[in-house]
Amino acid sequence: MNGKVVVITGASGGIGAATATTIAAEGASVVLVARRETELRAVAARCGANAFPVVADATVRADVRRVAREAILRFGHVDIWMNNVGRGITRPPSALTDEDIDDMMRVNIKSVLYGVQEILPHFKERKSGHIINVSSMLGRIPFAMVRSAYSGAKHFLNALTAMFREEMRESHPGIQISLVSPGVVRTDFGLNAMHGGPDSRQFPGSQSAEEVAAVIANVIVTRAADVYTLPGAHQRVAEYYASIGADA
């Protein structure tokens, strides 16, 4: 980890902040990206001298382009780009509006698309690089009906990640695209969902942001392609699809 330059979007709290502090403690330089300046600078202070906060909106392509430019200017290069911005929703599918769908796509898909597309030229030039997209168990199993559009967005993200990975495997094999799928994490995710929602901290079987960050730190080291953060998650996914007859 020592000497790695890592860009993290959504770094002002939750998984992003926990990952930043974890890998900074292991010697990484971190570029912290979020809209909330006060919170972002507090995370940067915890990360130490090699933290570079950049106030930006990951759903705005021009902002993402600026982040890439400033990160490279500050550290000379970028090794890892972590797309971590996301937002949930509390609304059943029959009640979804155009605005609901547009917001889920803007936050959960466009922020990732912009991040990948804006850093890829730099990675291609260097013939190496690592992109980490943070997804969700809801991108594998649609088990929370009121998270309908969020679950759909994360399924989209999973497919997009796989296609980017295949594209890079053929043209630039030194560039890896990883997917990380947490379950319920004890953050403000539920409280910040569109239309409100239950506090994620209330659910059993949840993980702390620090536990998820430890998995992501390991992904940086191993460059694993597809990782769950909860033990037994892979089996749970297999059992779900078996239960609905998907193997018939």
- pLDDT tens sequence across 133-167: 999 999 999 988 999 999 999 999 999 999 999 99
Give the Cα separation of 183 and 49 in Å (integer): 32
Query: So which residues are the catalytic ones?
Result: 150
Give the Cα separation of 169 and 173 in Å (integer): 4
Predicted local distance difference test score (pLDDT) of residue 248: 46
- CB-based contact 129:121 (threshold 8 Å): no
Residue 79, domain member (yes or no)? yes
Q: What is the CATH number of the domain that holds 60?
A: 3.40.50.720
The two counts, helices (H) then strands (E), for the chain are: 8, 7
Residue 101, domain member (yes or no)? yes
Quote the domain boundaries for residue 80.
5-243
Give the Cα separation of 91 and 85 in Å (integer): 20
User: Quick check: 247 pLDDT over 70?
Assistant: no
Higher pLDDT, 239 or 60: 60
Residue 226, domain member (yes or no)? yes
Look up residue 16 and give its amino acid.
Answer: G
Residue 248, domain member (yes or no)? no
Residue 72, both tokens: 């490279």
Residue 41, domain member (yes or no)? yes
Whole-model pTM? Answer: 0.95
Summarize pLDDT for 100-120 with one digit per residue, the tens.
999 999 999 999 999 999 999
Q: How many domains does the chain have?
A: 1
